[in-house]
Every structure is written in C-alpha cells, then in structure tokens.
A and B are shown apart, each in its own frame.
Chain A
Amino acid sequence: MSPQPQAAVGAPLSRVDGRLKVTGQARYAAEFDIDGAVHAVIVDASIGRGRITGVDTDDAEAVPGVLRVIHHGNAPTLPYRDNSSGSNNLPGRKLRVFQDDRVLFHGQPVAVVVATTLEAAQHGASLVKVRYDAERPTTDLAEGEPGEPTGYARGDAEAGLRDADVRLDLTYRLARNHHNPMEPHATIARWDGNRLTVWDKTQWVYGTQLELSTVFGLPLDSVRVINPYVGGGFGSGLRCWPHTVVAGLAARITGRPVKLVLTRRQMYFGTGFRPSYDYRLSLGGDRNGRLVAADHRIDAETSSYETFTEAVMTPGQMLYSTPGVRQAYRTVPLDVNSPIWMRGPGAATGVFVVESAMDELAHELGIDPIELRRRNEPAQDPSNNTPFSTRRLLECYTVGAREFGWQRRKPKPRSTRDGDWLIGMGMAAGVYHTAVAPAQSRGRLNADGTAVIESATSDMGPGTYTAQTQVAADALGLAVRAVDYRLGDSRYPQTPPHGGSMTMASVGSATLDVCDQLRRQAIRLAVEDEESPLHGVSPDDIVVRGGRLHVQGNPARGESYQRLLTRNGRARLEADTSFTPPRGERFSISGYSATFTEVAVDATLGLVRVRRMLSVYDAGRIISPKLADSQAIGGMVGGIGQALLEHTVTDHRDGRIVNANLADYLVPVNADIPDLRAIYLDGEDYDADPLGVKGLAELVICGVAPALANAVFNATGRRVRELPITAEALL
C-alpha cells in the first residue's frame, strides 16, 4: 500500500468546530431544548457524617411549581447491579443515592426538589428541612488511619541511603485540587417507556451508559447518552456521578424530562478531586551527583467508601537511574467524597516531588540542575529494564536551555533583584506514560465525495473533532471540509474514556484504520472495474488526493471517488473497525518534557509573579500543531494554578469545604499569565501506536509546578515544600 500524502496532519489548522463555539451555537449538556423539561435542584447534607433522622418537605412542597421532593424516605429501591468490570468506578461500595439514611460526607445528596421552573426548584430546595444525628467526621489527612501500603522496591534502598555521601530527608505536602471545568456538571434525563436518554456532561458516554443501565437495571442499549460538547473536564467527567442518577430517578418518578445542573458549590463534593498528599522522600547521592537510593513514603486521601489510587509512584521509579528504590503508597480513608483522576493524575504529584528534590540535591552538591539530571539519565527504563521506545529528555534540556537562556541563571539563590522583586529561574523534567486502549470506529464514504466517521469519544477541549478529522482526511485523501467527524453519542462505536491522554493514540488509530479500509475498498473497486482508468493497476500504486484516486507519480491517470462510486451504483462504502493496541510490554513508552521558568517574588510581600515560561516536549508525532500549542500553554496555566493558587480548604470540624466557589478557590486569571511558549521536538514513536503519537494533555502539566517551586527557591533562597506556594509561606 503506497503511503497516503499527509496534507492535513501536521498542518496548523483552525478548529473545525470553531465557528460553532465562537457564535454560542455549540450545545453543552444542559442546553438541549427538551420538550416539557422541568428542573431539579439537589439538597446536600449539611453534616460531615452521621444519619438522617427526618426530612420535612411540607414547606418545599407548598411552593407553587414544586412537583415532588424525593429523598431516602420515599425513593424506590434501585437495582444498583454490579458494574465493577468495564467501568471507571473505584474499588469499594459506591454511593447509592437516596437508598439509606447514612451521610458519608458533607454535601452528599440527601434530597432533590423537582419543579416546573428553576426558581421554584431552587426555592423549594432551600425549604427542605433535614434533621440529622451528626457524628464528628475525620477529614484531615494527618488524622486518618492509613490503609495497607502498596509498594515497589529495587536494589537496597536502606543501605544506599545509609552509605550515601549526601542524604536529604524531605516532606512535601500537596493540597487537594478541584478540576473546576468552566461548564458545571449537568444532566437532562428523559424516559420514553423503559428507555432512558440523558444529555450528560461526561468524558465517557459509554461509562455513563453502563452506570445508568446497571443502577436502573436496564439492558445496556436501553440507555442512550448524548454529549457532543464538553465544557472542560480535566478528569472530572471520567465517571458517572450521583447527580446523574438523581436526574434519572427524578425523571422516572415525575414522568417528566428533568434538567439538573450542579451549582459551582456542589461541584466541590458532587464530583471528585485530586487528593491531597503527604509525600516523604529520602534521597541519597554521591559527591559526583549520582543518585544511589530513594525511599518514598506516600499518603493520600480517599473516601471512606471507595479506594482511589493513581500512578503517583511511577516518576520515582523511572525518571532517573537510581540503584536502590523503595516505595510505600498508602491511602487514608476519610469522610469525604471519592477523588478522581485530575490532569496528569499521579504524575503531576510524583513529578513535583522528584523534581523538587532533584533541585534540592543540585543545590546541595553545587551542580547545575540540568547537569545533575544528565548524570542520572538512564539508558533503559530502570523500573523494569525495558528499552525506551523513544526518550529524548536530554534533547529537551538542550533545546530548552538554549531557547530560554538558562546560562544567564545565577546558581546562588537570592542573587538577582529588580527593584522590589527577587528574580529566579528554575527548571524541571516531566514525564507521563503513554496509554493506548482498544477503540472502535465506523465510517462511510459517500458517493458525493464526503465521509462520515463516528466514534463514541468526547471532545472536552483538546480538539478531538479537529484532530480526528485531520487523520481521516489524509487517510481518505479528502479535504478536511469533506469529512464529518461525529462523537459524543453512546450509539456510536465504543471507545475508552476521553482521558489519560489516550484519545489520539486509541481513537485516532481506529479512525486511521477505518479510513484506510474505506480507501482500500475504493481502490479495489477501481482496479477491478474495467471502465475505470485505474483498471488493472496494482492497488499499491494508487494514492488518493483531494477525493481523486490516481496512480502514484501520474496524477493524470485516475478518477474521483464520486465518479467511481456513482458509476458502480454505490451510494456509499462502509467500514468499521475495532482497534486493539499491540500486546506486550516490549518498550517503556512515555512522553517527556523540560519546563523552564522565571519568576519574580516581591521581597517584602511574598507575591509570586510568573515572568516567563518555556516547555519543550518529546511527545511523538503532533497531529494538529495549532491545537497542540494551545493544549501545552493550557497545561502550563494549569501547572501555575497547582503551584501557586489552587487549594481546596476543608473545615475539619464538620467536613465543609469553605472555599467551594471560584472567588475563593483561586485559579489563574488572565493577569496571572505572561507570554508562554511551547516547543514540540519533531518526531514520532510508532512503537507507541500506529499514529506515532505519545499523548499531550497530561504531559503538559507535569513538570510545571516543580519548575516554579525551583525558580522560587532560586529567587528567594526559600524552599517551599507545600503546594500551593502562597505569599504567607514566603514572608
């Protein structure tokens, strides 16, 4: 098969859905106009743990427009069949809405008010009186009882640390972070007989379909989930949350379609979060800057009813050659709702610790931070002794140092001043493993020379619509505008969750395969058709460009899809595919980054301002450079938030989150962000997947926070081991 010319892939195209988004026409979950829809508002628990002793709904039900108040006292028993395999649900016993009187965390849904107008539902919800038998919750990571550790070990970490020339014993604490996508989670639920349709904010229509079918005891195909646009997710939509079930239940009971939108406050306990961590690291090295041993003791919060874990140990295992490594990772059950993966899950935490510690060691030994990293660069993955498919981290350092002007950095902290501001530079490496999962796709090549490709994936912002269209256009030899890529409907072929940076590698490989099939079908049709100018030509010698099949190197000999299909009386060609990633762990496959930043810290006020940032990535092939650039810059902004601003604060007396709003949970705003720059190293990694991509979304946040912390140290001489780095910590 001759290779298809690549016209769309790698070209800096604008988003195919751009016009819809800038004109306000893109419809998000709560924006579908469903005939007869009524409104639901959740009443959430005002205690952190205990039992409900009574629910008084009289006042709420007296509000004009209120149709129903549903709570554990009057809700039907729901099947809640097991769906632990195939879902993103965590090990444990998931929260079952309105099925008993237990309150497991502050904010748990305890009732829902359904009314004909939003205003009536909101007013009604404020009038529901819930009485409790409250217990004191445990919500502080330091006070919980840790579970059994999972671990990892190689070499003799204990001996290594004992004999090391230099040993650092460091404790890092990372605050709980909330995803806070701009679009609140929302569900519109409608029953048609025993069939349920939901328009739901989710990063995985299939996951939500599975959850609802098992909760309500329905066949899978009796549930349809629709979600063409997702207003950000960052992981918060990776599982189906209780409110989606509440919407379905409310619609069932009232017999009306129900729209339920979480308030911003409810997002803080109605969906998950990146857990807080207490991460102790002992690092041993020799005088020449070679790591000899590392001991990681990691505690992270989880809920009392489910166990959440993430790949927080990976960076400590494979970022550097370290003969002795020991890790123990414990989850600490608390009276909180369950965490969920958030952008760069595990890695954003692990990389922060490892890369901060490397900077500390570099300072201790008087070695340049990049040089220290070079001296510990492994030749193969030290965690499992597999070769790297591609690992160009050293190149990231070289390019980054040159482009950023790293040589201007003064190694001695607190030695550069600009008026009131202390200036510092810092850098850090980043890593995120490349995940690829099975994905399906189907496609139609129409006689009019257009194509439709469908997969049940999502686009929460990275540009799935655009990038998949680019892949399809090149594989089919069509113009981008001739390809209609559709997603966000559980009726389309199944895909993995839209998360973990695996959409391009997984769904993209399915797109590539289905389009290759369609093109081959057309080519076969042509070479076997005596009336075709391509009759008798070897299929391997035919390429398609601009919707026209022709002999490679001889554009004159050929014909269009349109002509070929019309002459053969074919309205369309159809294909479907089930992409399965190659089995086996032959290679260690990850994306890598080096982030450089310059900060200014007000010497008296402790304010930190980011002045510059540059990241260089080894991320494999870049399908959509314009969008990839946006994603990288967005990852830097996310990392700036993690490093300097974001912190979910809980009142441990009653488990209430005190800053559950966007005025008090600080995220970066425009004035916080200077010009940022991203560079992707040219390249591809075909050991990763057929497209040669290594994933972007997670990689681009990993490494940002430690680069900033290291720059703050260089500016001030103060090593802050707690995130976020606040002005208070620098006073």
Chain B
Amino acid sequence: MSIDLPESAVPPPTEPGESSSPPSRRTFIATSAAVGGAVVAGGTFLAVPDEATAEGAAPSSRVSLTVNGTRRTVTVDNRTSLLDLLREHLGLTGSKKGCNAGACGACTVLVDGHRVNSCLTLAVRLEGAEVTTVEGLAEGDRLHPLQQAFIDEDAFQCGYCTPGQIVSGVGCIQEGHTGSPEEIREWMSGNICRCGCYVKIVRAVEQTAGRK
C-alpha cells in the first residue's frame, strides 16, 4: 500500500463515456436484494494491475479516484474494500464499519453521487470515481445543512451510525425521496441506528429537504 500525494484539489471533469450509466437507487436496491446484499458501485473501470508488485506479495493495483474533491492515486491490495481504503489507508475514519456485510449502512458514502455501501465495494473498481464521505460534506467551518439538522434535532446518540445516516440522508434528499415522513422512513431504512434515533433522523432529513 502506498499513497501518492494528492495530485490536485480540483476534481477532474467526468467524461460522459467514462461512467456507464450509474444505477439509480431503485435498481441499486433491486440488485442488492437479488445478490443477497452484495452491492457494487457500478459504472467504473477496473484499475490497472500493478506490475511492480513484488513476487509473492498480494496482488495489488493502482487506482486513481477523487475523495472529497482531492484526487488520490493509490496502490491497493485487490481485496481492499473502499471502506478499508478510507479507514485504514487514507485516514478517513468518518465512514464506519458496523457489519462489513452491507446490512447496516454505517459505511455509506456517495460514489458518483449515489449512495453505496463502501464495505461491499472493492477499491480497485473505482478508477476515476468521485467519492464523497462525511468528511467532505461541510464547506470549511460551515456544516452541511443536514449535519446541522442532526445536531439541532439530536438525531444521534453514540454517533457511530451518524456519518452513514447523514451521507445516506444527503443521497435520499438528492434522490427526492422525501415527500413524506413515511417515504423518508422507507428510503432511510438501509441505515440502522441501534440507539434508536429514527424519529429524529426523519425530522432532520425532512427539515433539510424542505429547505432546499
């Protein structure tokens, strides 16, 4: 594992052809149901296998992706999930590992604008992808409105599921699945909160969606 210095703080323009029709949330859910919870971040090319891999070492690949606006080129073990890349290699521990099996949503990040369980997404699939984690939502000191709404509504307790809830909430709002509390509940049900803050999570999402 090696990490190159950020090449640019500016995300590169996305070529239309580079991303082959990312899945909508609906097909995303259908896919995940069909394969028993396995979710892939679609629409990105596999990274190039790393020829410099030492003999006997685990197969690894070089992959360039943009994380929270910063272009990163990294050489990763092919088995590394996006979540482990973020947490173990990039020092971005905001995305949480709750189950490592796509069942709890604590690891939710946005890949090319879509909600994804990063624990089920191999990092090497993300060549050219744009990843947004909870660390990338605020603008400087100014919190994202949903982050502020979580504080105002007290939509968390222990805080461990919170980054996933907030990123998922941002996705839910972007998708427009916020027509009613019932709809929000349905579309936020991929994120478990064991402290039981659902009532307030719904309020925070509803409020933020209403302000848009």
Contacts and interface: CB of A to CB of B under 8 A. Distances in A.
Interface of A: 14-15, 17-28, 30-31, 33, 64-65, 117-120, 122-123, 180-184, 229-234, 261, 263-264, 460-463, 626-627, 629-631, 633-638, 661-663, 667-671, 673, 675-676
Contact of A18 (B151, B186, B192): B151
Given A183-B158, A232-B194, A461-B159, A662 B77 contact: no
A631 B201 CA distance: 14
Interface stretch (B2-10, B12-20, B22-30, B101-109): B101-109
B99 A669 contact: no
B93 A181 contact: no
B31 interface: no
Given A21-B159, A181-B158, A182-B96, A633 B194 contact: no
Chain A to chain B: the 6 pairs with minimum beta-carbon distance, closest first:
A24-B94, A637-B196, A231-B160, A21-B159, A634-B196, A461-B158
A670 B188 contact: yes
Contact of A670 (B91, B93, B160, B189): B189
Contacts of B200: 630, 633
Given A31-B87, A232-B160, A663-B103, A23 B94 contact: yes
Interface centre among B57, B98, B106, B188 (most CB of A within 10 A): B98
A612 B199 CA distance: 12
Contacts of A264: 98-101, 103-104
Interface string B84-98: 100110011111111
B1 A117 contact: yes
Nearest to A62: B56
Given A64-B58, A638-B196, A673-B185, A182 B156 contact: no
B58 to A, nearest CB: 6
A631 B96 contact: no
12 contacts: A18-B151, A21-B159, A22-B150, A22-B163, A23-B137, A30-B97, A123-B58, A232-B160, A264-B98, A264-B103, A630-B197, A633-B199
Contacts of B148: 22
Contacts of B198: 637, 668-670, 673
Contacts of B100: 263-264
Given A120-B77, A626-B154, A668-B198, 19 more contacts: A15-B154, A19-B151, A22-B163, A28-B160, A30-B97, A33-B91, A182-B193, A460-B158, A461-B159, A462-B157, A630-B200, A631-B157, A634-B197, A635-B196, A637-B198, A661-B103, A662-B192, A663-B101, A669-B189
Contacts of A675: 181, 199
A251 B56 CA distance: 25
B135 interface: yes
B162 A21 contact: yes
Contacts, number: 191
B161 interface: yes
Nearest to B93: A31
A25 B143 CA distance: 13
Nearest to A120: B58
B195 A15 contact: no
B79 A119 contact: yes
Interface in B61-86: 77, 79-80, 84
A264 B101 CA distance: 9
A24 B135 contact: yes
Contact of B104 (A27, A182, A460): A182
B165 to A, nearest CB: 9
Contacts of A21: 156, 159, 162
Interface centre among B80, B97, B135 (most CB of A within 10 A): B97
Nearest to A264: B99
A676 B202 CA distance: 12
Does more than half of chain B's interface fall in helix, strand or loop, or is it mixed?
A: loop
A279 B178 CA distance: 45
Contacts of B185: 670-671, 673
A234 B58 contact: no
B157 A463 contact: yes
Contacts of B120: none
B58 A182 contact: no
Interface of B: 1, 37, 56-58, 77, 79-80, 84, 87-88, 91-101, 103-104, 106, 133-135, 137-138, 143, 147-148, 150-152, 154, 156-163, 166, 181, 184-186, 188-202
Nearest to B88: A118
Contacts of B80: 119
Contacts of B104: 182, 264, 662
A64 B201 contact: no
Interface centre among B143, B154, B156, B181 (most CB of A within 10 A): B154
A21 B135 CA distance: 11
Given A180-B194, A669-B189, A118 B159 contact: no
A25 B151 CA distance: 14
Contacts of A183: 96, 98, 158, 160
Nearest to B146: A22
A635 B95 CA distance: 25
B192 A118 contact: no
Given A634-B196, A667-B192, A182 B135 contact: no
Contacts of B159: 17, 20-22, 26, 229, 231, 461
B99 A24 contact: no
Interface centre among A119, A181, A631 (most CB of B within 10 A): A119
Nearest to B58: A64
A115 to B, nearest CB: 10
Given A460-B158, A638-B196, A15 B201 contact: no
A587 B157 CA distance: 32
A22 B143 contact: yes
A363 to B, nearest CB: 30
Contact of B186 (A25, A661, A671): A671
Nearest to A463: B157
A208 to B, nearest CB: 18
A182 B194 contact: yes
A27 B199 contact: no
Interface centre among A24, A120, A662 (most CB of B within 10 A): A24
Nearest to A460: B158
Given A22-B147, A22-B151, A182 B157 contact: no
Contacts of B103: 264, 661-663
B39 to A, nearest CB: 13
Contacts of B37: 663
Contacts of A461: 157-159, 195
Contacts of A26: 159
B143 A19 contact: yes
Contacts of A184: 97-98
A463 B195 CA distance: 12
A661 B195 contact: no
B5 to A, nearest CB: 18
Contacts of A669: 189-192, 198
B152 to A, nearest CB: 7
A661 B99 contact: yes
B1 to A, nearest CB: 7
A550 to B, nearest CB: 33
B141 to A, nearest CB: 10
Contacts of B191: 669-670
A626 B100 CA distance: 32
Given A65-B58, A119-B80, A627-B154, A633 B196 contact: yes
A519 B94 CA distance: 39
A23 B161 contact: no
Contacts of B99: 264, 661-662
B134 A23 contact: yes
A636 B154 contact: no
Contacts of A25: 94, 135
A232 B161 CA distance: 10
Nearest to A231: B160
Contacts of A64: 56-58
Given A24-B93, A232-B194, A635-B196, A14 B154 contact: yes
Interface centre among A122, A233, A633 (most CB of B within 10 A): A633
Contact of B134 (A24, A231, A635): A24
